Each structure stands twice: as structure tokens, then as C-alpha cells.
Structure 1
């Protein structure tokens, strides 16, 4: 694994208004997997910066989940509320198809399973479509399940038990992942406070809604909206002992992780905790049994525990510990036999 991207491709369709960028970071483990984010970026430079960061994170995510997939990501520039159309999505599908299978797309912020059905009309390299369209459906619940397992592993490290009964968790963002995570946490006996920062929150019996949870009196802060909520200014206000959520790129800058450690806050790297969705996508692409996905996602508990143990034993920050594991897996793959079965 290197920090240089293998391929970055942009595409524009004047007729539909489509402007998109695909970034393939590393394909050592397999074709680049990563969702498409449909977002009203301030400009092309902001979109490019985001897709480069997100695609690198996908390389780490697929490696940490031990999947035969590389890391990639895509962005569509524009407001999906006004720009989204079937012709645009079909045009985007043709763009993905033109990459010849080096990139497999999925959903992300602004792109639903129904959108992926439309994209799938013009490309075979798409996962996350609805069951009616031949896909495995929304991957959000599996992403949430993975985060739950990561929280449990972090709790075991911090408090000696993975039992979340009575644990106070603040979930930031009640989208398709955050809402499902809140539901799972309630079922696990946790006390859940939640905030929706972009749209009115859906009600979930048992969840206390608030304006924000970052500095709420909780044991676990679970960021599940857009990233970069962990900053030099916000970290001193965090009252939680654990930060673990589904949002990508949670650290605004790399030095923020040290600030968390200095306050004795355990941070579970987002590319470890949120791998449930790409796990489901990889199973869909390979047409492996969907019934086997939850058991595979449950491995995130062991992966999180491994990362936190390595962090403790070697005096590393969790991000560095996780990256060392990911890099080792990628390097091993470079020297492995081509037909080695990595699915067992």
C-alpha cells in the first residue's frame, strides 16, 4: 500500500449535468470497492480532496475486513435534491462501466439503493441494489451491526466487559446507518441519546433526541453523519470515554488522534468500525450467500480488539496500529499465490 493513487478519472456529461470523479487508490487485494457520494461540493477542488481521502480510507477498510477488494471511491458533484435524474444516473453507470471493472460502486451519502438500481441499468459493476433488482438491499444495517461490534470490543477494552447494558451512547446522525445503530444499541440495553444534524430526526421509541451529542454526558460518542467532527476545538469538549462510529474521515487532521489519546479517550478508527457495508457489498458482487454476511461482519469485534491490543502493547495510536495491520495484509497479498482462496 502506498499513499499514491493508482488512477483518478473525471467525467462530465453536459446534457444531464453530471460531473463525477472516481479515485482508485489501491487494487492489490482486488477491484476497487467504494460508494458514490452525491454532494453539493463548493467546487471541483473540494470534491477531489474528498474523493482522494475517502478512497484511501476504503483501502484500509477492505484490508482490515480481510476482503478480496481494493480501495476506491467516487463523488458526484451537485445537490441530489435538484440534480438527481434517471438520465444522470444512467450516464454515471456508463462512466463506471467504462472503467472495465477496476471500480465497483455502491451507495453513500446522497445515493440510495433505488438510485443504484438505475445505475445498474448501464453497468454491471454495482452493488447495494434492491432485492427486486437482484441486489442484496441496503447495506446500512450491516454497517450499523459492524459499528455495534466495534463498540462492544472497545467497551471490553475500557471497562472489561462487552455488555452494553446501561451504557450511555450518543449517536450523531440518524440516517440509514445511525438510525439502525440506535435501534441495535437499544436492543443491547444501552441508553441512547441522538442528534440529527441535517434533517428532522425520525422518532425511535427509547431514544432521547437532543441538539448535539458530541459534548453530551455519554460513555460512547458515535459519529454517524459526515466526517471531520473530531477537531482540535471539539476534542476538549468530548465527555465520552470511547469514540466509535460509522462516519468516514472522522479526524479533521491527523494530529487530533493524539489529542484524544492525551485525554484517555479510546478512538476506534472508522475504517475498522464501519466495514460492515463493504463486507455485504463484496458478498453481493461474488454472489455469496447473504445469510452468511452477519457472521462475517461479527469479525469486526475481534479486529477491533486486535487493533486496541496492538495499540496498547506497542504504544501506538489506534490509527497507526490499524494501518500497520492493513499494510501487512496488503504486502502479504502481493507475495501470495494468485489462486489462493481468501474467502474461507
Structure 2
């Protein structure tokens, strides 16, 4: 196993390996940077093909959380944890209590939250062993359901409107055609907001029921998952898989704005420059999809949802700064976002 030589290693402050033979827990906790505060990041449970694959994932994801928290103006650093295992067959409450003990041993430098393969019930088990866990709903604010998806969608909506303002000179979405790829929790809530703003929706998802729901509730036009990226639309909102902007797709994308919730939409950094050269305005995904992280932080602090939403609305100002800098300096928005994040968290 390699840590320091892995391509995703980026001066990480701490990488912890922990196991519990009784429960079968095998976990890796990565703390990337704590310049702004304790690291926050989800706990992902996944049946990795190898331990090296798990190491690469936790290093990559923890670094991304540093940049996301910095651009969301949160007093947090970036961290992540992964559990090697199949959540469908190997998950037990005892395992997550053991995970809580592992988090506790990091001494408050890492705050855990839910991610792929984990859920609020798992976080409750972790919380029985450590206070360093986020996203636990205390029930004090009836507007807080424990689901961060609407907050993630709200941040994407704010960022999308800012992209429209920058491109068109106004933020009116009425009549604009928006292609939404992926109708999971975040994609659905984004459609809800776009429909209320008067946008015309084109949607795709592998789940036929999700597509039919969008057609029934929003009057959306369904399209196949193979065609959604290339449909004639004003805005493309990827809310499913990453890596959709690549050498094979860029020349066929007809939208003039890309703004969605999916992580790692660019297959490689150079694709951001290719989008700029093609005249397509890209709202960096980790900037506009930070609403869920903001909610996890405010929930943990015991502050009301109204404050969460006000903070998420500040995403608009950050996106505007990125667009303006990129335009002045003839640079890609992704490159400028990374440099702005590094300014904020003080990368050495």
C-alpha cells in the first residue's frame, strides 16, 4: 500500500488506519488540511477492489472537502473517511460504534458525516461513541428534516442563477431550457426550484419512476440518458455521475452554461480550459454544491435553518467573483476557483 506516492496525496496532515476484528471494521480516515478549523467530511462505505483504491479515494475526497469548505466560507478544513465493505451485506450497528471509537481517537481533528453507503442511523451509532459527528438532527427546528439534499440543491440553484446573470445580464430563468441529468434527491429538488422559477425542463434518469414524476409534477420533457448531455438547452445541470465533461463530450455539448450538483464533472482539469475556449460558462461543481456541507455545519452548531439558507445564498457572491476573475485573466473558472480556495485556506 502506498500513501505518500499515491497521485492523490497532497500534503495531507494525517492519514489514520483503524480496524476492529470483532465487527470487521476496516477504515481509513484522512485529514487533508485544518488551517481554517477541524476537518469535516463524510464517511463512505464501499466495496473497494483493493486497499490502494480505498487509499486513493479517501485522499482525493478529503482534499476536495478542504477546497469546498474554504469557498463556502466555513471555519472548517477537509477530511474524509472510508470503510472497506459492502453496505448492503456487511453493515452492522456494532461496526459503526467501532467507527465512532476510531473517530474519537483522532481527537477532534476530524468530524464525520454521512456519505455514499451510510445514512443518519449509522451516524447515530457513531454519535454514541464520539461527539465529533455532524448532521445529527436534534429536532429543535421543524424546518430541519435531517436530509441535506434540499440545501445542496438550493446552493446549485443560487449558483446556476448567478451563471445566467453573468452570461445573459439578468438572472431571470423564465422560458430558459434546462437539461437536468439525474433525478435523485438533489436533482429532484433542483427541478422543483427551477420549475417554480419558470424554467422549461428536460430530464433524464435511469429510474423510470423518477422521470415520470418529473413529467407529471413539472411538465418536464423526458429524454434518454444517452442524449441528455447533447440536447439543445440553455443550461446543462449534471446531477448524477462525475467525469461527464471529457474529450468525447465537449464538442457535442450545446448548452452555453454548465451548472449542476454532480461532483467532479470535469474528467480532467484541462477540460475546464476547453470549455472556456468553446464559450461555455462552467460553474465549478464543488463551489455550488456546497449547500449540504453548510447545513451539516449549522445543524451541528444548533443554529436555525434560516441561517443555513442565508449562508448558502452567499455562494452567489463567490461564484460571481470566480466568473469575474476568470473573465479578466482569460483563465478557466475551475482554475480560478482552485486558486481562490487556496488563498482562503492558506495553502503552503
Is the structural similarity TM-score above 0.5? yes
- 1:7 is matched with 14
- 2:161 is matched with 152
RMSD (Å), alpha carbons: 2.3
- 2:190 is matched with 181
Q: 1:52 aligned to 59, 75, 96, which one?
A: 59
2-structure distance, mates of 1:133, 1:118: 20
- 2:333 is matched with 318
Q: TM-score, normalised by structure 2?
A: 0.88
- 1:139 is matched with 148
Cα shift at 1:194:
2.4
Given that 1:273 and 1:300 are in contact with CA atoms closer than 8 Å, whether structure 2 keeps it comes out as yes
Structure 1 residue 265 and structure 2 residue 248: aligned?
no
Alpha carbons of 1:94 and 1:173: their partners in 2 closer, same or farther (altered >3 Å)?
A: farther
- 2:102 is matched with 95
Given that 1:22 and 1:51 are in contact with CA atoms closer than 8 Å, whether structure 2 keeps it comes out as yes
Structure 1 residue 36 and structure 2 residue 49: aligned?
no
Q: TM-score, normalised by structure 1?
A: 0.89
Alpha carbons of 1:95 and 1:303: their partners in 2 closer, same or farther (altered >3 Å)?
A: same
Given that 2:114 and 2:123 are in contact with CA atoms closer than 8 Å, whether structure 1 keeps it comes out as yes
Alpha carbons of 1:54 and 1:142: their partners in 2 closer, same or farther (altered >3 Å)?
A: same
- 1:225 is matched with 240
Give the secondary structure class of the aligned counterpart of 2:210: coil
1-structure distance, mates of 2:32, 2:131: 21
Cα shift at 1:145:
0.3
1-structure distance, mates of 2:139, 2:125: 12
Given that 1:251 and 1:257 are in contact with CA atoms closer than 8 Å, whether structure 2 keeps it comes out as yes
Q: 2:316 aligned to 280, 292, 301, which one?
A: 301
1-structure distance, mates of 2:65, 2:20: 26
1:238-297 Cα shifts (integer Å, max 9, x gaps): 221111112222222221212222211111111211111111122122223332110110
Cα shift at 1:41:
2.7
Alpha carbons of 1:69 and 1:182: their partners in 2 closer, same or farther (altered >3 Å)?
A: same
- 2:267 is matched with 252
2-structure distance, mates of 1:253, 1:100: 35
Give the secondary structure class of the aligned counterpart of 2:230: coil
Structure 1 residue 114 and structure 2 residue 121: aligned?
yes
1-structure distance, mates of 2:104, 2:278: 47
Give the secondary structure class of the aligned counterpart of 1:228: coil
Q: 2:205 aligned to 196, 201, 207, which one?
A: 196
Structure 2: 5+ residue stretches without partners:
1-8
- 2:27 is matched with 20
